[in-house]
Structure 1
Amino acid sequence: PQYFSDQGHPVPPNYNPADWIMAVAQSTPEHELDEAGFFPSDVREEEKGLDPSDDNEGYLFGSTGRNSFLIRNPGKKFNDKQHISSATEVKLLFARELQNVQRNKKATAARFIFTTFLSLLVGVIFLGVGGKDPSDPVNFNGQFGSLLIILMMSMFGTAMPSLLAFPEERPVFIREYSTNHYSVSTYFISRLCIEAIITAMQIMIGILISYHLVDLQMNFFLFFSIMYTLAMTSTALAVLLGCAVEDPKMATEFLPLLFVPQMLFAGFFIATHIIPGWLRWAQYLCSLTFAVRLSILAEFSNCADETPLPGVENLCKRALMSNQANKDDVWWYWLVLCALFIVFRLSALFLLKKKASKFF
């Protein structure tokens, strides 16, 4: 790409350089290409090709120069359907995704800077609230609110880039897939691997700051597991929506659909059992609902088991009841989160494969 830029014909964004070579060659007069420096003198020193009569079994060179070619194992029929393994495809695609992250340093840095800033902001606002007496309604509201805000931050901060990534990279993917460079599944797996790594780093940075500033009482690694599972599930839903659209601008229109239902079914604004029964089933599509239940069980279970003073309500116990969080159902909450991740990812894979059949 840099070579074409130097000659006055820069490669457009998301354009295959090989296609651009053909476009420039067919649309630009030869004398202009010569003046631009596309035909430099060949100063290479090439060795003489091997004589076919020599005893070099398995090798045969044609004429020297640009058209020199090498044929291995003469006499054997070439199989034009040969292809590299899926593992090799994933390896090469993952390496390319890693290079893209390194090249796009500003976007990657901004992602971590925003996470750090927001975690510091939440941590300072809710400074030490997790260690205060939960029997005080003011303290308890702060504890529950800080927990919900941290969970929502992890969901929003990781889902947004994934929602916009697929529409932006769709032209490159369609071109390469249409020429059988790789399969949809290997492309999807490589994307999943790089997303899992970046998401883990982003969540870890956010938790290291907010967990200690807010002074949460649950186990650190348990909280990381909840946050990371929520983030990956939300990312899977974002990828599904991203695969459904072709325009990045259209993808931003889906943001309310991605976030608003999650907040409504989280149990903070309204208890889930108050929601009309015919609509209550939608909570099983909202990963934030089950992440909240796991979090409040880990944070408030101890105080929920305490016997309050006469005339004082146990707020921890009431929070668990209003959100239908049950200790015996912890395994079920984890199962739903994992199932949502798998269903959303497989649905996105199917949708992407279907979309790939249409060449833009």
Structure 2
Amino acid sequence: MTMTDNEPVAPGPFHSKDLEHSTSAFRCISEAHQGHSGSSLEWNNVTFKIGDKTILKDCTGLLKPGELTAVLGPSGSGKSTLMNILGGRQRAKGKGKSFGGVVSFSGQVDEPVKFRSRIAYVMQDDSLIATSTPREILEFSAKLRLGAKQDMTKEEVKDLVQDLIESLRLTSCSETLVGKELIKGISGGERKRTSVGVELITKPDMIFLDEPLSGLDSYAAYITVTVLKELAERGVPVMVTVHQPSSEIYQLFDNVMILSAGEMVYYGKTSRVTQFFDKYAGLRCPPNFNPADFVLFALQTEPQETIQKLVSAYAKSAEEDIVPTINTIRQTHKELATDTSRPGRASFMVQFRELFYREVLDTIRNPVVLIMRYMILLVLGLMFALIFFDVGETQDQDYWLANASEFQSYFGAIVALNIMAMMGSAQTAVLAYPAERGIFLREYASNMYSAVPYVVSKTLVELPLSFGDSLFLMIITYWLMDLQGSFMLWVLTLWLINLCASSLAQVLGSACNSAAQAIQVLPLLTVPQILFGGIFTPIENIPVWLRWLQYVCFLKYGVNITYLIEFGDDFDVINDQQNIDPDLLGLYLGVTFALLVVMRVAAIIILKKKAKFVF
């Protein structure tokens, strides 16, 4: 569909009775934000550099109450970076970074990060828990972000969630799992509206959305922008980065901001953009042509000299019209009072409870993962049991010294079980954190919870699963291998090694940005554990300058403990060969548990550091 600059678009397929019904339903969202109307955002001469590269240069603008603003520009023009900086989501200062300019919220000048709690930010990627429903996702957000308000009851929270579900046209899918590649779920448009609803829960003063229309069909995109238009009309400023909007969607926006190579080319009414391009660059939009398509095409095909004419023309008009308005707002502003009605983060127990419940549901609703987990244990356990079949015997030290090869097989079985407990847990856990990275960063940035209850909740859900793994492995192998030590002590020791391995994987998964990175680095942390396990060579044969690494390898402690479970403390010669001291059994247990705790704390610290800013 196309349109001229001064000619309204004829009613299209979206202007139907059912659309009028839906927009009336959106009104409840808008009314919920009336108490936060009147906020504005001002910025002038904003410049941002990383190294020698200029990302933004002398950007000036003003976001007013009641206006829906589109941000247009070619890829790499700085759209998302400008929005991230204005929304306090971009680390603007630091090594190799340079930031200049002034930003103010309703006239109060400060660092943008100070305003981030007042600005809802919907990211481009819909990072949602695949095994949760839209209703559960909205209730999760409400309980963590509104539950801290003393005057908001559970019933009121549920009513708010129901209003959002109806307003965002999610009623038909409210009880359907969000889904992912292997789990059938809701549509792309429904996912996007769920993401919007998560941020609308807190009734923000302002809303930023990064490419919310990507991947949506024309009707779903139109419905999404209509929601935002309704909110803007109720006094909530809304800024949206869009990529090639249709003419009908373009018409819904009040203003358009256009960037090219980090510089602002135009910022003003959508109806005047073609006149601006014609007046200052001689670029005339053809009749019946979408202005958005015309602008984006011109910015990528016209010579740089032509684009600079537009940049200079806007800079002059901003200096004459926008800057005086910004100065007036800043001179007459009232100090932003602390908004006591704005919900803070819920208590630790509430955070933990909701995260724990969600983690349990995620485990239960994904039975394929559990089935595969135990099938792998069954196959590998049987393989180990058959390879080391009937290896265990009750013999004295002299027998084992005389039959070194048999002892090596017996000892090899002990090490192999420890390795299996380690690898089975590490492989699973190392993928979990990168897979949920986007979800954690979005929710952490939205102040839903801290890293501590997030890690603790995952740890407690993991405890019975890890115990089940160890128990299942020993049921398969213990009698077939004819092991002599206490069955329950074996289970408990492998459980401890399993938890240590998942803790190590947590640290790695928290530090890596993707599952591919984590998988590539994992051998660097697990192979040394195996080398110092004592199966390939006795510890005493390892060079002295490397031997100290055994003291930070939890697998070595696991081998020592299970060795003592099997052979007791009577084999002084063999104990010396394996560098195992029966008198230090308590120390082995204590150090192993300490390593577990240290690695979990390290995972928390890494997550907090990486999530301090989302971008």
**Does the TM-score normalized on the shorter chain lie above 0.5?**
yes
1:97 matches 2:359:
yes
Match of 2:512 in 1: 245
| Separation of aligned partners in 2, 1:139 and 1:218 | 17
User: What's the offset of the Cα at 1:78?
Assistant: 5.2
Q: 147-156 vs 128-137, which deviates more?
A: 128-137
User: What's the offset of the Cα at 1:132?
Assistant: 6.4
1:149 matches 2:416:
yes
| Separation of aligned partners in 1, 2:220 and 2:597 | 57
Q: Are residues 33 and 340 of structure 1, via their aligned partners in 2, closer, same or farther at CA, if it must alter by over 3 Å?
A: same
Match of 1:55 in 2: none
Deviations 1:54-99 (A, max 9, x none): xxxxxxxxxxxxxxxxxxxxxxx95434443211211111110111
Secondary structure, counterpart of 1:320 in structure 2: helix
Q: 140-149 vs 168-177, which deviates more?
A: 140-149
1:213 matches 2:480:
yes
User: What's the offset of the Cα at 1:24?
Assistant: 4.2
1:259 matches 2:514:
no
Structure 1 segments of 4 or more deviating over 4 A?
Answer: 4-8, 19-22, 24-34
Secondary structure, counterpart of 1:11 in structure 2: helix
Secondary structure, counterpart of 1:149 in structure 2: helix
Q: Structure 2 length as normaliser, TM-score? A: 0.46
| Separation of aligned partners in 2, 1:272 and 1:168 | 38
| Separation of aligned partners in 2, 1:119 and 1:279 | 32
Unaligned runs of 5+ in 1: 40-76, 306-315
Structure of greater Rg: 2
Choose the corresponding residue for 1:342, options 597, 603, 615. Answer: 597
Q: CA RMSD in A?
A: 3.0
| Residue identity opposite 1:105 in structure 2 | P
1:97–1:191 Cα contact (<8 Å) kept = yes
| Separation of aligned partners in 2, 1:6 and 1:192 | 30
Which fold has the larger relative contact order, with Cα–Cα distance below 8 Å and residues 6 or more apart in sequence? 1
1:9 matches 2:189:
yes
Q: How does 1:1-360 map to 2 (within 5 A)?
A: 3=173, 9=189, 11=191, 16=195, 18=197, 23-24=212-213, 79-131=341-393, 133=395, 135=400, 136-301=403-568, 305=570, 317-360=572-615
User: What's the offset of the Cα at 1:131?
Assistant: 2.9
2:421–2:470 Cα contact (<8 Å) kept = yes
User: What's the offset of the Cα at 1:200?
Assistant: 1.0
1:244–1:351 Cα contact (<8 Å) kept = yes
Q: Are residues 194 and 209 of structure 1, via their aligned partners in 2, closer, same or farther at CA, if it must alter by over 3 Å?
A: same
| Separation of aligned partners in 1, 2:535 and 2:363 | 36
In the alignment of these two chains, the number of paired residues is 307
1:132–1:139 Cα contact (<8 Å) kept = no
| Separation of aligned partners in 1, 2:613 and 2:187 | 33
| Residue identity opposite 1:9 in structure 2 | G
1:177–1:356 Cα contact (<8 Å) kept = yes
Higher strand share: 2
User: What's the offset of the Cα at 1:187?
Assistant: 0.7
| Residue identity opposite 1:215 in structure 2 | D
